[in-house]
Amino acid sequence: MSRAQNKTDRWMKIEALLLSHPEGLTQAEIARRLDVHRSIINRDMYDFGKQFPIINHEDGRISIDRSAYLIKVTFSLHEAMAVHLAARLLATRMDRQNPHAASALRKLGVSLERLAPRISTHVKQSADVMDEADQRQDPVYLQSLEKLTLAWAEQRKVQVWHRKQPKEAVQSHIFCVYFIEPYAVGQSTHVIGFSETRNAQRTMKIERIERVEVLKDTYLIPEDFDPTTFLADAWGIWYTNTEPVEVVLKFHPRVAYRIHESRWHRSEQPIEELDNGYVIWRAKIAEPKEMLNWIRGWGSDVEVLAPESLREVCKDEAQKLMAIYENRKGD
């Protein structure tokens, strides 16, 4: 093997080592793990630092700057389209600017220029949509998302200052990030993790986080934590420690086809068709109140049959709406 090949091989090993040790390694530790003399690593690191974003710590450790590290990935045409569709959903359902999403989509558009120029044009236009001035500029949200992402990648604890409700006092948490989940219905993003301050698992709306500081202390995500299982019963992001509640809805014949067209929840049962054209939809939901906006969207084309508590909420709202429109007649 030539000297150049040896150097390339070492660089690949150094890259893999630093990625697997987010806390960083000293040159001596790298040399020992690669079984080479420290002087070789000392020479390598000068050129290595030109190719890879590294951080030289005061105590001599070297680490990869994960915020600047470029992930190498290739897509087929159909995989690129899947990423495009996901990004379009992000662009249309999130109201805050995200330059990272726009940049990623723009790179995808450039890579498709020769393979599929028409698709490339539309992908780059989607990136422009994300950068438009009418998207809400929220630097606090963006900084919080960036720091939470970095902490999640390196499994480092964070201190979070979060306001649970707009008028409530800000609360401080020492927090371990387990998962970050978008919520299309609420046009928001949530971080799920463990609050050491409260000694409990918590979900925080990132838009309500006022400050995040990444700490030096590390943590381990429990092996039994599976976000898919954890959110399996949620309609969106709400979950409980109790058994999910069966929700039963009766839909009018004029919207029955729409109910058949989509799978609305992973727990939904086969749709029951009645002789008069109505359909019955059933699913078990962690917190049925989270469905209210979706149910409201169907208007008079849906009736809540169960649970009784959800039916009463909808009944009360219907009565209030009737009062509003009845009072309007006298204006």
pLDDT at residue 50 is higher than 80: yes
- CA distances to 45, 209, 214 from 180, rounded to whole Å, are 34, 14, 16
Task: Assign 64 to helix, strand or coil.
Answer: strand
pLDDT at residue 218 is higher than 60: yes
Q: What is the pLDDT of residue 5?
A: 63
Give me the architecture of the 140-230 domain, per CATH.
Answer: Roll (2.30)
Dump strand ranges (E) for 100-207. 156-162, 171-183, 188-195, 200-205
H or E element that contains 15: helix 3-20
pLDDT in tens, 244-286: 999 999 999 999 999 999 999 999 999 999 999 999 999 999 9
Token readout for 32 is 């020992």
pLDDT at residue 313 is higher than 70: yes
Decide if 190 contacts 206 (C-beta within 8 A): yes
The domains of the chain are located at 3-64, 78-131, 140-230, 245-327
Q: What is the pLDDT of residue 2?
A: 58
Examine domains 3-64 and 140-230 and report if their fold is the same.
no
Token readout for 88 is 């379009």
Domain 3-64 top-level CATH class: mainly alpha
Residue type, 95: D
Q: How far apart are CA 157 and CA 197, in angstroms?
A: 12
pLDDT at residue 330 is higher than 70: no
Token readout for 285 is 């939901």
DSSP state, residue 300? G
Q: Is the bond leading into 117 cis (omega within 30 degrees of zero)?
A: no
Decide if 147 contacts 158 (C-beta within 8 A): yes
Give me the architecture of the 245-327 domain, per CATH.
Answer: 2-Layer Sandwich (3.30)
Task: Assign 326 to helix, strand or coil.
Answer: helix
